Amino acid sequence: MRRRSLLRSASGAAVAMAAPAIVRADEIVDVDLRLVIAVDVSRSIDEEEARLQREGYLQALADPRVIDAMTGGPHKRVALAYVEWAGTHFQRTAINWSLIDSPAAAKDFAAKLEASPLTSQSWTAIGAALAYAGAKFDEPLFRSSRKVIDISGDGKTNNGPPAEIVRDELVKRGIVINGLPIVSDRPNFGRPPEADLDLYYEEKVIGGPGSFIVVAKGFADFARAIRNKMTREIS
């Protein structure tokens, strides 16, 4: 009887060791990085360009280099949120904070993104977009020493608060802002192309220690640019 009892106890211990850890709903999870992906959906981006932009993120989330970066830190996991923005009237969280700790988790995030409807709204309010993205870090779901906003767009602010004012406030809170300006030779609603958009992002948008931009030369180049950018900022 004693032998049977010991075997039963050992079996129970083995099952307990094999069982995955259960994370309580009220538990704050430590991650290596919290990254808000902030994507321009203003009307200057047509349907084909929006599709190329979305496809760029889907490719990045499947790229082994990006996945290795997301799972290669001390905690071996990061938290991602995906928001879309246009004028001051429109910012929305398409995918809320999600834990990425494996290729399967990245694939699940990508599937949610692929299923999310494409939208288009008026104006370009980078300052309002940064404020909205910055507020995401106040949500008590994950904890990290690194907080990054990855903002991409094809135009300068033409609505809402100046981007640099909001940028400076977020940097004071320890948030790093990296940029992905999409520079093209296409006129923007009758206005000349904004060939100096990269300089605008350098001077008015990005900020914080180690902040940087990666330039996409048109929407066809977006996938390459976002893969390189996410690998660099996550690492």
Domains plus CATH for the chain?
28-234 (3.40.50.410)
pLDDT of residue 5: 41
Question: How buried is 42 (Cβ within 10 angstroms: 0-12 exposed, 13-18 middle, 19+ buried)?
Answer: buried
**224 CB-near residues (< 8 Å, 6+ apart):** 216
- Tens digit of pLDDT per residue, the chain (235 long)? 443 443 343 334 333 333 333 345 568 999 999 999 999 999 988 888 899 999 999 999 999 999 999 999 999 999 999 999 999 999 999 999 999 999 999 999 999 999 999 999 999 999 999 999 999 999 999 999 999 999 999 999 999 999 999 999 999 999 999 999 999 876 665 566 678 999 999 999 999 999 999 999 999 999 999 999 999 999 8
Nearest to 226 by CA among 34, 37, 33: 37
- Strand-strand pairing, 91-100 and 78-85: antiparallel
pLDDT of residue 189: 57
Distance CA 205, CA 216 (A): 16
DSSP state of 213: B
**118 CB-near residues (< 8 Å, 6+ apart):** 41, 47, 50, 51, 54
- The sheet with strand 91-100 has its strands ordered as 91-100, 78-85, 34-40, 147-153, 175-183, 216-217
How many DSSP H helices and E strands does the chain contain?
8, 8
pLDDT of residue 27: 83
Torsion sign across C-alpha atoms 31, 32, 36, 37: negative
Q: Tokens 């981007």 sit at which residue? A: 163
Q: Tokens standing for 223?
A: 């996938």
